[in-house]
Amino acid sequence: MKDVLMYIIGSLVENPQAVKVGVAEDGDVVRFKLEVASSDRGKVIGKEGRVVKSIRTVLQTAAARQNKKVYLDID
Domains and CATH numbers, the chain: 2-74 (3.30.300.20)
What phi and psi, each to the nearest 5 degrees, are found at residue 27? 70, -115
pLDDT of residue 26: 96
**Tens digits of per-residue pLDDT, 15-74?**
999 999 999 999 999 999 999 999 999 999 999 999 999 999 999 999 999 999 999 999
pLDDT for 75 beyond 90: no
Whole-angstrom distance, CA of residue 50 vs CA of residue 58: 13
Q: Read off the pTM.
A: 0.90
Apex 20 CA angle, 8 and 25, nearest 5? 90
Distances (CA, A) of 53 to 26, 31, 57, 75: 23, 15, 6, 15
